[in-house]
Amino acid sequence: MKYSRLRGTQDIVPPEIETWRVVESAFQETFDRFGYQGIRTPIIEPTDLFVRAVGEESDIVSKEMYTFEDRGGRSVTLRPENTASVIRAYLEAGMHRWGGIQRLCYFGPMFRYDRPQAGRYRQFHQVGAEAIGSANPALDVEMIQVVIEAMERVGFKSIDIRLNSVGSEVSRRPYRKLLLEAIRDHGDDIGTDALERYTNNPMRIFDSKDYGDKLKQSLPVISDHLVDEDSEHFARVCALLDETGVAYTSDPHLVRGLDYYTRTVFEVYHGERGAQSALCGGGRYDALVEECGGPSTPAIGFSVGLERLIAALPHEREKARATGGVTYYVVCADEGAAPRALRAAGVLRALGNTEIDLSGRSKKKQLQAAEKKHARYAIVADSASAGRLTVRNLALRRDEDVSDEALAVYLEAERRKEGNET
């Protein structure tokens, strides 16, 4: 090969792309049901947008961003996450003057220069949502409901919602001092470089994989140091979740790795206890709009890494392949049958997804290809049988000769018959 893809990137090719389409459709259907409208932002933004929003000392900004100088001498960055871009677009489009809550959703690629591993790429894809314009705890609950419904549509039967409050800046300011003192007491276990890293945001220690539960559990947690307003907000979120029947786990050590989070944060896990994997996360960011130059505007959102989510769907992957792709596969048995095969394909496309095989290979190999594509029917056009087509039900291994003119009527009757049987 002359060229190959860069390390940390991937090609999403058939039939795997069908799984992606099923997952993306599940999220889009959920967003539609909750009234979230799509937004698309550039993959390239001014570097300072992410430095301000995500945090200069965060691993994303300090280690992982693809940042370079363009030909105009400006520092630009491939977006490592999309919330900051959405808020920039929200302000630039004047949405903050529209009134009410702006519910926005997105799909797209993100970029982080991280060590590639299973489910983690340097170009990866996220789906997410943002609800901007209300501090009501009920909006926190709605966002969690969006996540749950989307996960159920994808195929997850049981998920674990973990919840915490990281408070507002009023709560965090005195708590950070207390936490930093406690971290320094463990200086021998943490190391000089790490201590310096935690000086500006000591709460990041709870998000670090470098330390075990024993050390983290010895540290003070912010839930014990919330001011009244933050404590009341979190209590109301929990009460509303209880009242609406949403199960969750309160996790006082849960924080998120981005500086803009305030108050409610959550993560979604799946799998058996002790071997669980995080699927997605989100939370409030009530100061980010103002940080980006807009008026004080509360907001909440979440995002899902599609690579990680799809890797956790081994059974749904086969289901997606079976339900995606083509319904009708037209076999062109010889060159003389091409006009009839093309006409048949035109009729079939009014009924469902249709692919016509014009490869010139043998009829046997074309029928094998139809089975590999999980087609429901193979329609064989053969110049030796003028005016007649062979319709093969691939599941039942049953052939039926049908006139060219009766093809649509026959297949519609078959579809009604299948519906009655189910």
Here the tokens at position 221 are 């947690």
User: From CA 132, how far away is CA 305, in angstroms rounded?
Assistant: 21
Distance of CA 75 to the CA centre of its chain: 28
Amino acid 59: pLDDT = 77
**Among candidate residues 115, 143, 110, 149, the one with its CA nearest the CA of residue 127:** 110
Amino acid 226: pLDDT = 94
**Which of 42-46, 69-73, 199-203, 343-347 shows the lowest mean pLDDT across its residues?**
199-203
**Among candidate residues 143, 165, 172, 168, the one with its CA nearest the CA of residue 253:** 165
User: From CA 305, how far away is CA 269, in angstroms rounded?
Assistant: 13
Question: 358 with 338: CB under 8 angstroms?
Answer: yes
User: What one-letter code names the amino acid at 52?
Assistant: R
Contacts of 26 (CB under 8 A, 6+ apart): 150, 153, 154
- The pLDDT tens digits for 288-297 are 999 999 999 9
Q: Average pLDDT in the 148-157 region?
A: 90
How many of the other CB atoms lie within 10 Å of CB of 25? 14
Question: 390 with 341: CB under 8 angstroms?
Answer: no
- The pLDDT tens digits for 77-113 are 999 999 999 999 999 999 999 999 999 999 999 999 9
Question: 72 with 66: CB under 8 angstroms?
Answer: no
User: From CA 68, how far away is CA 74, in angstroms rounded?
Assistant: 8
- The pLDDT tens digits for 156-198 are 888 899 999 999 999 989 998 898 888 888 766 676 666 666 7
Alpha-carbon dihedral 148, 152, 157, 162, rounded to 10 degrees:
-20
Q: Write down the pTM of the prediction.
A: 0.84
Q: Is the pLDDT of residue 323 over 60?
A: no
Q: Is the pLDDT of residue 250 over 50?
A: yes
Amino acid 342: pLDDT = 95
In this prediction, what percent of the chain has a pLDDT beyond 90? Answer: 66
187 burial level (CB within 10 Å; 0-12, 13-18, 19+): exposed
Which band of pLDDT confidence, cut at 50, 70 and 90, is reported for residue 402?
very high
In DSSP terms, 404 is beta-bridged to none
User: Across 16-117, where does the E strand assignment appear?
Assistant: 37-38, 44-46, 66-69, 75-78, 102-111
Q: Average pLDDT in the 339-362 region?
A: 94
User: From CA 404, how far away is CA 47, in angstroms rounded?
Assistant: 61
Domain boundaries, the chain: 16-168+227-318, 326-421
Q: Is the pLDDT of residue 214 over 70?
A: yes
How many of the other CB atoms lie within 10 Å of CB of 118? 8
**Among candidate residues 301, 297, 289, the one with its CA nearest the CA of residue 88:** 289
Amino acid 321: pLDDT = 47
**Among candidate residues 114, 116, 148, 111, the one with its CA nearest the CA of residue 126:** 111
Which of the four CATH numbers 3.40.50.800, 1.10.287.110, 3.40.190.150, 3.20.20.70 does domain 326-421 have? 3.40.50.800
**Which of 29-43, 111-125, 232-246 shows the lowest mean pLDDT across its residues?**
111-125
Question: 90 with 289: CB under 8 angstroms?
Answer: yes
Which band of pLDDT confidence, cut at 50, 70 and 90, is reported for residue 206?
confident
Q: Average pLDDT in the 65-75 region?
A: 95
User: From CA 370, how far away is CA 74, in angstroms rounded?
Assistant: 52
- The pLDDT tens digits for 359-372 are 999 999 999 999 98
Amino acid 320: pLDDT = 47
| Dihedral pair phi/psi, residue 340, rounded to 5° | -70, -35
**Residue found by looking up tokens 């000392």 in the block:** 57
DSSP of 212-272: -HHHHHTS--GGGS--HHHHHHHHHHHHHHHHTT---EE-TT---SSTT-EEEEEEEEESS
99 burial level (CB within 10 Å; 0-12, 13-18, 19+): exposed
Amino acid 211: pLDDT = 66
Q: Is 395 helix (H, G, I), strand (E, B) or coil?
A: coil
Contacts of 232 (CB under 8 A, 6+ apart): none
User: From CA 88, how far away is CA 70, in angstroms rounded?
Assistant: 20
Q: Is the pLDDT of residue 318 over 70?
A: no
Contacts of 396 (CB under 8 A, 6+ apart): none
Q: Average pLDDT in the 252-275 region?
A: 81
User: Across 322-371, where does the E strand assignment appear?
Assistant: 328-332, 354-357
In this prediction, what percent of the chain has a pLDDT beyond 70? Answer: 91
CATH fold label, 16-168+227-318:
BirA Bifunctional Protein; domain 2 (3.30.930)
